[in-house]
Amino acid sequence: MSLLIGDNLVVSMHYKLTDDEGVVIDSSEGGEPMSYLHGSGTIIPGLEKELVGKVVGAALTVTVDPEEGYGEVNPGLIQTVEKSMFEGVDSVEAGMAFQAQGPDGSMQRILVKAVEGDEVTVDGNHPLAGLVLHFDVEIVDVREASEEEIAHGHVH
């Protein structure tokens, strides 16, 4: 009997992620399927919610609005800083990505949006924030998670 996707099951799926214009953002095509522990919060809520109750062999298209994806763009995460903040970097250019420590001590990815003289505009939003995401998904495996996977909150 096929397992229905639900909490504490390991789900493996092939996927293609596109934006509103149909541009491919990410895909597992030609590679291994992506596996995740359902209910652990490791994939975006809008996709996880749509996979509940599906079985191996299911193919579906899911549209996820920003609220259930990577959130709306937060203008507070876009700021201008002095170029001197980039110690040890010879040349800071638009499009470069860096790891920075957030106010709570966690690491976050920041993207350089613009460089004007000694001022650098950086964006700490997720690169997919504000986008409507379109997933084409095929479920290739569903299995019970091990006690260790459940305890750690991810697939081993």
Model pLDDT, residue 58: 97
Single-letter code of the amino acid located at 156? H
- Which pLDDT value is given to residue 151? 94
- Give the residue range(s) of CATH 3.10.50.40 domains in the chain: 9-70+129-152
**The pLDDT of residue 2:** 81
pLDDT of residue 69: 97
Query: Under a CB-based contact definition with an 8 Å cutoff, are residues 132 and 64 in contact?
Result: yes
- Phi and psi torsions of 36, nearest 5°: -150, 160
Residue 11 is predicted with a pLDDT of 98
Residues in the chain with pLDDT values less than 70? 1
Question: Which residue ranges does the chain devote to CATH 2.40.10.330?
Answer: 75-123
Span 9-70+129-152 CATH architecture: Roll (3.10)
Fold of the domain spanning 75-123: Thrombin, subunit H (2.40.10)
